[in-house]
Amino acid sequence: MKRLYQTVPTGCDWAVEAQGLVKTFGDHRAVDGVHLKVRTGTIYAVLGPNGAGKTTTIRMLTTLLRPDDGSARIFGYDVVKESHIVRQLIGVTGQYASVDESLSAIENLVIFSRLLGMGRKEARQRAEELLEEFSLTEAANRPLKNFSGGMRRRLDLAASLIAQPPLIFLDEPTTGLDPRTRNQMWETIRKLVNHGSTVLLTTQYLQEADELADRIAVIDRGKVVAEGTADELKASVGNSSLQLKIQHSYDMERARQIVEQVLKVRSNTSTETGRITAPMTEADRVTDLLIALREAGIHLAELSVQKPTLDEVFLTITGHGVKKDTAVDSSSAVEEVRV
Amino acid sequence: MKNISNLTVGRELKNRASVGQAVHHSLVMAYRSLLKMRRTPEQFFDVMLQPILFTLMFTYIFGGAISGNVHNYLPIIIPGILVQTVIGTSVISGVQLREDMDKGVFDRFKSLPIARIAALAGALLADTVRYTIATTLTFLMGYLMGYRPDGGLGHVVIAALFVIGCSWAISWIFAFFGVVGRTASSVQGISMLILFPLTFLSNAFVPVETMPDWLQWLAKINPVSHMITAVRDLTNAGTMGQDFALSLIGAAVIVAIFAPLTVRVYMRRA
């Protein structure tokens, strides 16, 4: 049996090219015309909330699900027509650990290695290498039932790397991990790319996409609503957001008007909590705002500045809560991808 | 990290797994199933108890009525019970396949460049261990109750292999229900609904001649009857006749139809 070592087909700039992918479940269009282009050798993040269609997109790109419409190519190979070749070029780590619960860590890796065409001895050696790399050697012979969430993820990732695939899909690799394990996972992902792999990951956290990804696609209700580098995306939301808590709820509407006039942005009001949230592009303007509020006799209970959250990115990008011209950046980025 | 993502220079990429690879992949998958069986030996309880219980029960209940005494009934009932029990065991294959497919690990198998049939064929292949246990125990129970097959040990072994082989073929039907069904319990329900008429509307327990005409007709064309007759010929007379050949042809036809069908449905379902 031949060894299964693949390499990036030479001269292929794009690891992933997806055009208008559609997947419908009953009446629900889970993925509704997704376009994605991932350059070889980069980390690409697909960012979106639960149910946005991230996992369904990944499942189509990894040949696990047949698209209802559109097409996708992995290093130039069609995911439907040339699925067997595509499978030789990818490693997949799903959202739920795709390893065998009733077997030990080493047994899992040996079986996957054997399936990839390695001999008995070679498979064992590869499994041991990977276990050591992912600090699982001590737990090698324990049944997975006793593994922590982080250990499972690590084993799962190890299993995806057996054949050294040039493209690795990670579906929410850090969801549910504690901060320390999450940082380790980030380190691993960076190392993978340093050694020439391409990584496409999904995440719910802007911070994660920001830390890792060269480019980010924001996906909502099955559509890519923005695409660009982390900086481009954040620029469209404002680098941070300003949160004001108003003392008297009857001042809310007036306060909101003042905020929008002074900061020249749309704000987001929550009457129950008495909070106004607004993107803050220039910190200096806050001084003007505070003065304006005092002149209007509006009393503040609290004031804070926060990094933009995914919610705000969404509010901004999906068009609820921001003027069209501030979103130009992101929409033009989408255009670029759709060419 | 070097040896993890260090992309070594390539090889030709083919869009199909070769037959040799498919066989290898299936064997590895069978090995995986065997490992899992070793981890959970409690799953063998029913396979071990059923032959013991059924053989005792049916022999003593029907023996006197049908053959005058228990001893004379043994050459009729043991092959009948054997075929019924082993085919019944093959239902578990479908149910387990359904349970297995619901787990995340099947996503990995699907994303690996392996022959599509391997995950199914491997699991079914490993299940022959179950059939072997059921077969051995049924013959052993028969022996303890005084059954001495006239065909001799050699033919008993051939009969055992014959039953295991045919049941493996039949397990493809239940595997099909396994991939089609939504839940393990629905798979179990549908399979049982098929299994009962199939094994009871046969010559397993009573001579067909005692049935009403229309039922005789059914029992005579029932493939299970042919299997049982073939086993009786082997164990009691040491001969291989038309029934033996028919059963093997039937088994081959089942695999030819249900294996591709099952793989296709398996591929289509997420």
| DSSP character string of A17-41 | EEEEEEEEETTEEEEEEEEEEEETT
Q: CATH 3.30.70.100 spans which residues of chain A?
A: 239-307
Is the minimum CB–CB distance between A88 and chain B shorter than 8 Å? yes
Q: Which residues of A touch B270 (CB under 8 A)?
A: 59, 64-65
Residue B14 lies in a domain: no
Residue environment code for A57-96, b if the CB has 16+ CB neighbours within 10 A, otherwise e: bbbbbbbbbebeebebbbbebebeebbbbbbbbbbbbbbe
- Mean pLDDT (chain B) is 88
pLDDT string in tens for chain A (339-residue length): 333 334 445 557 899 999 999 999 988 899 999 999 999 999 999 998 888 899 999 999 999 889 999 999 999 999 999 999 999 999 999 877 788 888 899 999 999 999 998 999 999 999 999 999 888 888 888 888 888 888 888 899 999 999 889 999 999 988 888 888 888 889 889 988 888 899 999 998 888 888 899 999 999 889 998 898 888 877 766 667 788 888 888 888 888 888 888 888 888 887 777 888 887 777 788 888 889 989 988 888 888 887 766 666 777 776 543 333 333 333 333 333 333
Which of A231, A220, A240 is closest to A318 using CA atoms?
A220
A219 vs A205: CA distance, rounded Å: 12
**Residue A237 pLDDT:** 66
Strands A198-203 and A167-171: parallel
A81 to chain B: closest CA residue: B15
Q: Do A103 and B10 touch (CB under 8 A)?
A: no
Q: Which of residues 84-143 of B touch A (CB under 8 A)?
A: 103-114, 118
CATH among 3.30.70.100, 3.30.1370.60, 3.40.920.10, 3.40.50.360 for A239-307: 3.30.70.100
A2 to chain B: closest CA residue: B11
Min Cα separation A334/chain B (Å):
29
Asked if the model's pLDDT at residue B38 lies above 80, the reply is yes
Query: What ipTM goes with this model?
Result: 0.82
Q: DSSP states of chain B as a string?
A: -HHHH---------SS--HHHHHHHHHHHHHHHHHHHHH-GGGGHHHHHHHHHHHHHHHHHHHHHHHSSHHHHHHHHHHHHHHHHHHHHHHHHHHHHHHHHTSTHHHHHHHSSS-TTHHHHHHHHHTHHHHHHHHHHHHHHHHHTT---TTHHHHHHHHHHHHHHHHHHHHHHHHHHHHH-SSHHHHHHHHHHHHHHHHHSSSSSS-GGGS-HHHHHHHHH-HHHHHHHHHHIIIII----HHHHHHHHHHHHHHHHHHHHHHHHHHH--
B243 vs B159: CA distance, rounded Å: 12
Identify the residue among B13, B114, B116 best suited for mutation to test binding to A, counting A beta carbons within 10 A and taking the highest: B13
Residue B185 lies in a domain: yes
Q: Do B7 and A196 touch (CB under 8 A)?
A: yes
Dihedral over Cα of A59, A61, A64, A68: its sign: positive
SS3 label, residue A306: strand
Q: Which two three-digit tokens encode residue B13?
A: 């990429």
Identify the residue among B8, B12, B14, B15 best suited for mutation to test binding to A, counting A beta carbons within 10 A and taking the highest: B15
Residue B35 lies in a domain: no
Q: Do B1 and A133 touch (CB under 8 A)?
A: yes
Q: Which two three-digit tokens encode residue B162?
A: 């014959």
**Residue A9 pLDDT:** 53
Q: Do B4 and A161 touch (CB under 8 A)?
A: yes
CB distance A8 to A166 below 8 Å: yes
Q: Which residues of A touch B111 (CB under 8 A)?
A: 62-64, 87, 90, 92
Tally of domains within chain B: 1
Residue B1 lies in a domain: no
Identify the residue among B2, B5, B32, B267 best suited for mutation to test binding to A, counting A beta carbons within 10 A and taking the highest: B5
**Residue B260 pLDDT:** 93
Min Cα separation B2/chain A (Å):
7
**Residue B254 pLDDT:** 95
Phi, psi dihedral angles at A77 (to 5 degrees): -100, 135
Q: Which two three-digit tokens encode residue A40?
A: 């070889």
SS3 label, residue A7: coil
Residue B10 lies in a domain: no
The residue to which tokens 């910190």 are assigned: A283
CB distance B172 to B119 below 8 Å: no
A21 vs A15: CA distance, rounded Å: 16
**Residue A328 pLDDT:** 35
Min Cα separation A232/chain B (Å):
30
Q: Do A191 and B15 touch (CB under 8 A)?
A: no
Q: DSSP states of A57-119 as a string?
A: HHHHHTTSS--SEEEEEETTEETTTTHHHHHHHEEEE-SS--S-TTSBHHHHHHHHHHHTT--
Q: Do A111 and B31 touch (CB under 8 A)?
A: yes
Which of A87, A100, A164 lies at the smallest CB-CB distance from B6?
A164
Q: Do A5 and B8 touch (CB under 8 A)?
A: yes
Which of B10, B25, B32 lies at the smallest CB-CB distance from A5?
B10
A54 vs A217: CA distance, rounded Å: 10
Q: Which two three-digit tokens encode residue A73?
A: 């190519």
Which of A2, A4, A111 lies at the smallest CB-CB distance from B32?
A111
Asked if the model's pLDDT at residue B12 lies above 70, the reply is no
Which of A221, A291, A163 is closest to B13 using CA atoms?
A163
A268: number of Cβ within 10 Å: 20
Residue B179 lies in a domain: yes
**Residue B87 pLDDT:** 92
Asked if the model's pLDDT at residue B52 lies above 80, the reply is yes
CB distance A6 to B13 below 8 Å: yes
Min Cα separation B95/chain A (Å):
17
Q: CATH 3.40.50.300 spans which residues of chain A?
A: 14-234
Write out the residue range of the structural domain in which residue B248 sits: 25-30+43-268
CATH among 3.40.190.10, 3.30.70.100, 3.40.50.300, 3.30.465.10 for A14-234: 3.40.50.300
Give the H/E segment covering residue A16.
Answer: strand A14-25
Give the mean model confidence (pLDDT) for residues B109-128.
91
